[in-house]
Amino acid sequence: MTFSLPAWLRRPSPAGLLLAALLLQAALVFRALGALLTEPGQHLLSPGYDGLKNYFTFQAYLQQPAAAGFAWFGMMNHPFGDYIFYTDNTPLLAAAVRLWSRYVHDITPYGIDIYHGLLLLGFLASTALLVLILRRLLHYWGLVLVFSIALPWLSPQVGRLLMGHFNLSYSWVVLLAIWGLLRIYDRHQARQPIGKTIAGLVCAFTLISFLHLYYLPLLGLLTGSFFAAWLLPKGYWRKQPRLTLAGAALSGLPLVLSVLIIRLIDRYYSLRLNDPTGFNYPAWKLQVSALLQQYSYETTHFIIQPTAYVTQESQAYLGAFALFGLVGLGVAWLFSRPATKHWWKSWGQTSERKFLALLGIAALVGLLGSVGTVYDLFDGQYHITNYLSPFFYLHKLTDKASHFRTVARFSWPFFWFINLFVLVGLDNWLRTSRHAVRWWVAAGLILLAYVDTRDTLKFYSRSLLPNTLINTVNQTEINPLVLSVRPEEYQAILPVPYYHVGSENMDLTLDDDDPHSRHSYQLALRTNLPLMATKMSRTPPEHARLLRTIFDPAGPDPSLRKQLAMNGKPVLVFFDQSYYDGSNDLAGRQTNPYAKQLVEAGAAFPTNQHLTLLAESGKLRLYRWDVR
């Protein structure tokens, strides 16, 4: 009697494979981060700095009065406010949750928990797209299943969850572009229409830009480079005008549509800085060693290890599976060159390899852009002008290219290309070779991917921290202050020392101190009063100039004073004495003399403006400021 596997196990249906991958991925998500959902209101991924600010802007947007509308964010930068595009609170999702709360059922109190759920759904979306991509590129369904689950955890974007750049953690965004390009390529090769695919992707890319605006140039550069690599050789673009037009539409139309939407809504657009500082700032460029530097929690070490740790923005580790896979290819090339050359040539004739060649060129363009237009060697002893960076030319054409100055992010597609290249090559080798050693090599590489994934899951399962933003149990210093005031009697909260971040003008920037901004966020959410302080992006510099005058000896600028007085309500001043009694030398840590002066001016503010003391809790105080 001959034993044989059931048909569904030998070759599972597409739906069955997708369902299995999603169920297994859901299990891993709950293993690592399930407490975010099962223990609502108890945990945060990032309880400080940018992370806490992004949580705050999401929740505060949901809480603000309905009259503010869906495009407006009035909970910072009072009395000017700003538009939701500049809050870094994942505007598309925040607006959707607010829309649901207003017209279906009010879920505002659970805003942070819902935000966590939406972030975790990103892992499932990445897995679903990987199943679609890998089913087309691979022949062994076991590889499809394993890597559609593992790779989303190994993507460099996952680290954004703990950095607090939540809306940059969606690795499915890059995968959607890769899937779209693969679908277009296949349909064109099969002489099938691509119009609907292009239209759907243009709409999707436009919407994605309102998750985070950095996705817009990232997707545009990836797709534009792919079509250029496809159509430019041998003048192919002349023979395929429709395909050329489709590529131009997919690469450029989402940018045009997104800018038009912003311009139509944003009445402050003309006031914003055209050329923000920070372009070619070293910490925001990719350090090439980052491709080889495993994350601190990973136990597998590559053969070559950088000795200096890279910056947060530069994290781009390719993973042990991909790196050792490339080493294996190199070893085969050295010691079995004829067989390897034959395999390489035969693999090169497949449609999978041809697609990967185009994707590789597109990913390489992003990688070249990610290192900046100037690259330093040997601790800055040598400068290399990077003429291969697309930003070298974009920056010459328009200063607005400086808005996308954190160029290290453009390396993300390169991670996916390298991993897909090794994976598809492994699949082809398993299928075409007859050497038994291939199964041992495959098992070893899969084991490396498993270990990296296991280490990542273990690390994230231990990384959740107490929710200090909305859980009142963790707000012992703020609780007495909240109980002592009637919020409806005030128009806004003025934190002292003051902070204003996001105008992109460094002379007008005063970075917040994390404990102080945390207290101010807590107070704003508990009272539902807007902050006169700001921590957003691309806020008009004129707003920062006017708000700084509050601490001038003569008091606020007349126009600002008039605007505050017209509200008819006093301002609630949140004052932290620890910054003025020697406990915390915030002023001494300032390198900008204007910022130092602004911090120091806060000490005399209660006396100069004749404030009325309302409450005290430790070194925290609340004052009433009657603006006249």
**Do 488 and 420 lie in a common domain?**
no
pLDDT per position as a tens digit, 24-47 = 999 999 999 999 999 999 999 999
pLDDT tens-digit map of 433-488: 888 899 999 999 999 999 999 999 999 999 999 999 999 999 999 999 999 999 99
Give residue 306's domain range.
273-433
Residue 356 lies in a domain: yes
pLDDT digits (tens, 9 = 90+) for 52-81: 999 999 999 999 998 888 999 999 999 999
Sign of CA dihedral 578, 518, 164, 281: negative
For tokens 């090169």, name the residue.
348
Residue 554 makes CB contacts below 8 A (sequence gap 6+) with none
| Residues 264, 265, 270: CA angle, nearest 5 degrees | 80
Model confidence pLDDT, tens digit, residues 137-169: 999 999 999 999 999 999 999 999 999 999 999
pLDDT score at 352: 94
Mean pLDDT of the chain: 92
Please state, in angstroms and rounded to a whole number, the distance separating the CA atoms of residues 334 and 102.
65
Evaluate whether residue 582 is within a structural domain: yes
- Residue 406 shares a structural domain with residue 480: no
- In this model, does residue 1 exceed pLDDT 50? no
| 402 and 487 co-located in one domain | no
User: pLDDT grade, residue 2 (50/70/90)?
Assistant: very low
Q: Total domain count for the chain?
A: 2
For residue 62, being part of any structural domain is answered with yes
Q: Which tens digit of pLDDT belongs to each residue from 94-135? A: 999 999 999 999 999 999 999 999 999 999 999 999 999 999
Q: Quick check: is 602 in a domain?
A: yes
Inform me whether the pLDDT recorded for 7 exceeds 70: no
Residue 373: per-residue pLDDT: 83
pLDDT at residue 6 in the model: 52
Share of the chain above pLDDT 90, in %: 80
Q: Do residues 340 and 483 both lie within one domain? A: no
Same domain, 503 and 561: yes
Residues 415 and 318 in one domain: yes
Q: Does 372 or 245 have the greater pLDDT score?
A: 245
pLDDT for 3 equals 42
Domain end, chosen from 399, 416, 433, is at 433
More confident residue, 387 or 4: 387
Q: Which residues pair with 625 in a beta bridge?
A: 571
Whether residues 511 and 577 share a domain: the answer is yes
Instruction: Please check whether residues 279 and 427 belong to one and the same domain.
Output: yes
Residue 502 lies in a domain: yes
- Look at residue 499 and tell me whether its pLDDT is greater than 70: yes
* Residue 467 forms part of a structural domain: no
Domain match, 395 and 504 both: no
Domain boundary among 380, 414, 433: 433
Is the predicted pLDDT of residue 9 greater than 70, yes or no? no
3-state SS of 536-557 is CCCCCHHHHHHHHHHHCCCCCC
Helices (H), 190-316: 195-208, 215-231, 236-239, 241-265
pLDDT tens digits for 340-371?
999 999 999 999 999 999 999 999 999 999 98
Tell which residue, 232, 212, 236, has the closest CA to residue 224: 232
Predicted confidence at residue 5, as pLDDT, reads 43
Q: pLDDT band at 10, cuts 50/70/90?
A: low
Please state the φ and ψ torsions of residue 614, each to the nearest 5 degrees.
Answer: -110, -40
Indicate whether 222 belongs to any domain. Answer: no
How far from chain centre, in Å, is Cα 529?
28
Q: Are residues 537 and 426 located together in one domain of the fold?
A: no
Has residue 344 been placed in a domain?
Answer: yes
Q: Is omega for the bond preceding 40 within 30 degrees of 0, making it cis?
A: no
Last residue of a domain, one of 415, 433, 451: 433
Confirm if 72 and 84 have CB atoms less than 8 A apart: yes
**506 shares a domain with 370:** no
> What is the per-residue pLDDT for 278?
72
pTM: 0.94
Let me know whether 282 and 399 are in one domain.
Answer: yes
